[in-house]
């Protein structure tokens, strides 16, 4: 008789933020409503750069896979 293990794939969000604003962007606020609260979101994104991040799901709830986060960046000239 064969033995096997069931593995559950870890759900996560992989994303890349692009900056084409002609100003450097600085992370000023974040709200993670689903997923890991300890994600290292890009703090500064220079003009013309792209920065990536991964936010892993921290729940075993079948209805809550993945992650949800809101990020606020401020341009160097102080506009949002």
3-state secondary structure of 70: strand
pLDDT digits (tens, 9 = 90+) for 19-58: 999 999 999 999 998 888 888 999 999 999 999 998 887 7
Residues near 29 by Cβ (< 8 Å), separated by ≥ 6?
Answer: 71, 72
Taking the model in full, what pTM does it have?
0.70
Find out whether 31 and 74 touch, Cβ atoms under 8 Å: no
Residue 63 has pLDDT above 80, yes or no: no
Burial class from Cβ neighbours inside 10 Å (0-12, 13-18, 19+) for residue 35 reads buried
Query: 46-80 burial, b for 16+ CB within 10 Å, e for fewer?
Result: eeeeebeeebebbeeeeeebebebebebeeeeeee
Q: Specify the pLDDT at position 45.
A: 96
């Amino acid at each position: 008789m064969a033995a096997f293990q069931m593995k559950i794939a870890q759900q996560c969000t992989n994303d890349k933020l692009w900056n084409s604003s002609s100003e450097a962007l600085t992370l000023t606020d974040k709200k993670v409503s689903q997923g890991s609260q300890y994600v290292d979101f890009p703090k500064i994104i220079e003009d013309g750069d792209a920065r990536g991040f991964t936010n892993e799901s921290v729940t075993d709830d079948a209805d809550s896979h993945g992650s949800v986060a809101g990020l606020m960046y401020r341009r160097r000239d102080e506009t949002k």
